[in-house]
Structures are given as C-alpha cells and as structure tokens.
Structure 1
C-alpha cells in the first residue's frame, strides 16, 4: 500500500523555500522536486512564481554560482559548463552572463596547470599517444580544442 505524503500548497511552498535557501537551484530541479511531491501543475506554477518573486529562485544567480564552483573546484572548461547549463535548461542570456564570471587570466592559468599536471600523470612513451591522452582528458572536461592543442604544442 502506497502511503505517499501529500502536501498543501503552503506546506510545499515552505519545504521548497528551505530547499532553495540551502543551495542555489535551477528551475528544472525545483519543478522535478515538486513533481516528486505529487503536486498538480497549477500548484507547481503557483509555487514557482512565489519562489521567483521572493528571490528563492534566480536562474542567472544559479548559473553564475554553478560556473564559479565547477570552474574553481572541478576545473571544467567553458564547453562543459555550457553543456551542463543547457542540460539544466538555463537560458542563453544567463549562460553568457555566467561565463563572464570567469577571469580570462585565471582560465588560461588553470588550463596551463592542468596540462602540466596531466603530462606528468600520463605514463606513455609514445609521444603521439601521450599527446592524445592528455588532449582527450582536457576535451572531456570541456576545454576548447584550439586552446588544448595550442598548450600541448607548447609542452610536448
């Protein structure tokens, strides 16, 4: 027997205020959370509007926080950041605005550090295979190919 808890709009709203206050969320995450709570579409719309009006939910702020965090901690390149934000259904405007959060000097410095570190880690005798392994690693992390190959040619 399925005894799933049901929520009133007010209860769900309070719960989602806490959910959004705990950490930045995107609209898609909040919507799916409300669907999990078995809220009807009208209630979902009402709660979403409330969260946006009371600044619990802000797409641009989410995008900026996401970009700063993933760049600083996971060292993702711009391609990966854009791909992940699009997957979360973030608008192009917010994505562009978020990418401006990355200082270009930091961006190039991070790539440089990653290339050097990865070259040390890859134990491959064949020059071309080593270059390919390092490049694949960086491309997977979303670094632009022209920057990756420019850097690799500098070091290998």
Structure 2
C-alpha cells in the first residue's frame, strides 16, 4: 500500500470499500486515518460519500441488525450494544431492530435455545442451567426470555 493518496484516489478506494459491504462512519474514518488522511480531508470525503449514497448509517444499522440476527443468531441486546459501540444513535438502533419481525426473533430464540439445551452434556442440573443461561445471555437475548425458557426446559425433563 502506498503512503500518500490524493483525495480523488482516496475517494475511489473508499467507494470500493463501502460498495463491498455496508460500513458505519466510524469504520470509514478509521480506514481513512490508516491512509494518512487529515481530518479536513476525511470530512470532505465523508460528506461526498454520504451525498453519493455510499455511506448511510440507517442502511448500515438495518443491514447489521438483520445479518447478525439471521446469521449469528444474536439477540436484540447484543445487536444494540454492538451498534452503540460503532457510534450509531438510539433512533437508528430502534429503526434497525424493527427489521427483525417478532415471529422471526422468537423462532430463532426457540431454535437456538432448544439446540443449545440438547448440546450441553452436563449431569449437574444447576451447572447445566448456568451454562445454558450464560450462553443465551451472551448471545444477547433478554433475561426474562432466557429464564422463562430454562424453567420450561427443566420442567419438560421431570
């Protein structure tokens, strides 16, 4: 990689970077910094990317939420935290979470919970319960859903 980019070269490179996959502003700024661009140039490039529709935080947030839920089976809490970490505001986060239908969310939760419960090879009931809850909470599902489900699964055994 070369050390110095003209604004035109940087824009072309970043357009390709954004076209490949949705990006948030923070990722693009980091990439531009790694290309040794100064903050004035970064601001100029960012505004050009927004006006050319290469960069759109709402589109990024929605795509991120859909993808992480469908592919990685993340719950809403984890998705929200990851979007906040990427500097996305709460309004856009709420819009993004609406991309996941309640039916799809619950179905993913049920499938993941049942699969995980079956896969835990632990004879001690308390340890099994802890492993299950830790896993589901780490995935970002709401604690009330997780604890309700663990009670349901434990009752189905007895």
Per the TM superposition, whether the score is higher than 0.5 is yes
> In structure 2, what is the equivalent of residue 130 of structure 1?
128
Measure, in 2, the Cα distance between the counterparts of 1:119 and 1:40: 51
> In structure 2, what is the equivalent of residue 141 of structure 1?
139
> In structure 1, what is the equivalent of residue 84 of structure 2?
86
Superposed displacement of residue 4, structure 1:
4.8
Q: Count residues with an aligned counterpart.
A: 154
- Gaps in structure 2 of 5+ consecutive residues: none
Measure, in 2, the Cα distance between the counterparts of 1:98 and 1:129: 35
Measure, in 2, the Cα distance between the counterparts of 1:60 and 1:83: 16
Measure, in 1, the Cα distance between the counterparts of 2:112 and 2:21: 28
Measure, in 1, the Cα distance between the counterparts of 2:113 and 2:129: 10
Of residues 24-33 and 121-130 in structure 1, the stretch that sits farther from structure 2 once superposed is: 121-130
Q: Secondary structure at the match of 1:74?
A: coil
Superposed displacement of residue 132, structure 1:
1.0
> In structure 2, what is the equivalent of residue 71 of structure 1?
69
Measure, in 1, the Cα distance between the counterparts of 2:54 and 2:138: 33
Q: Say if 2:6 is the partner of 1:8.
A: yes
> In structure 2, what is the equivalent of residue 61 of structure 1?
59
Superposed displacement of residue 5, structure 1:
1.9
Aligned-pair Cα RMSD in Å: 1.0
Deviation string, structure 1 residues 81-100 (Cα, Å, up to 9, x no partner): 00100110011111000000
* Structure 2 length-normalised TM: 0.95
Superposed displacement of residue 7, structure 1:
0.6
> In structure 2, what is the equivalent of residue 21 of structure 1?
19
Deviating beyond 4 angstroms after TM superposition, the runs of 4 or more aligned structure 1 residues are: none
Deviation string, structure 1 residues 94-142 (Cα, Å, up to 9, x no partner): 1000000001011111111111111111011111211111000000111
Measure, in 2, the Cα distance between the counterparts of 1:83 and 1:73: 17
Superposed displacement of residue 33, structure 1:
0.4
